[in-house]
Amino acid sequence: MTHLFTMFFNFNKTVIYLVLMVSIRSLMVDAKPATFLQDFHITWSDSHIKQLDGGRAIQLVLDQNSGCGFASKSKYLFGRVSMKIKLIPGDSAGTVTAFYMNSDTDQVRDELDFEFLGNRTGQPYSVQTNVFAHGKGDREQRVNLWFDPAADYHTYSILWNHYHVVFSVDEVPIRVYKNNEAKGVPFPKIQPMGVYSTLWEADDWATRGGLEKIDWSKAPFYAYYKDFDIEGCAVPGPSTCASNPSNWWESSSYQQLDPVAARRYRWVRLNHMVYDYCTDKRRYPVTPRECVAGI
């Protein structure tokens, strides 16, 4: 009897230990940065960035003295980055809240941009995306958001792998830039990029092409960020990481949009796109190669 009791007790200890280990491992895999300063540092005007909720969220401020900005401590080569952002409410014309990746190289720059363009009260908020590859940009697309991005937090993410770059809003794709190097279209795949964000004045172009100027009587302007999530190959780091096909962002599920994502993408393009460089014949009399149907 004593022998059976001992076996039962040891078996239960083993089960409890295994459950605890699985739980701890799950927490380690799914863990998000506990505070802003774990993965980021302030790059511009630290007096205009305020940490909230013990550093798990931040407030960016724009006034007549300064805007502000921050950047990741590391650069990354492929992966996914996302943040929850609550944009400037009310009359935000002339302001730009930017969230982007940048190689920080002068001559041959790679960059993936979200730029949230301020509006006059009552007008829709536009988000502009742009892709720089091997130093060439000027690939702007603009989408009017289908919700009020100043009323609550929404998730904005950039997925970057060997197959494409996908810009998403609340898991809805709004822009896909495919890897068409085989057809002579440059694609960012060599230079690691840092993660950046800024809040600044750009009333010479941001709202209706610069027709709507910033109203400083409404200042200061505030934008809020939380849930910073970066998953990718940090540089410096293991040299084999970026080429490892076992990285989750390189798996078959992420090599193209699934049917649901593809339907959402078409819905955005049909109903909310307000500018596409691909169809701007004044700027591009010859359609850029990456825009040609079928590529």
Among the listed residues 111, 212, 250, 290, the single catalytic one is: 111
CA distance 219 to 92: 9
Which of helix, strand or coil describes residue 84? strand
- Helices (H) and strands (E) counted in the chain, each on its own, are 3, 14
Q: Which SS3 state, helix, strand or coil, does residue 239 take?
A: coil
C-alpha separations of 181 from 43, 70, 139, 197, 247 in Å = 34, 32, 16, 29, 21
For residue 293, give Cα distances in angstroms to 58, 279, 289.
42, 12, 9
Indicate the DSSP class of residue 289: G
Active site residue 115: yes
How far is it, in rounded angstroms, from Cα 158 to Cα 177? 11
Chain-centre distance of CA 175, in angstroms? 12
Please confirm whether the linkage preceding 149 is cis (ω < 30° from 0). no
Which pairs from 250-253 meet CB under 8 Å and 24+ separation?
250/78, 250/161, 250/162, 250/163
Q: Which residues are catalytic?
A: 111, 115
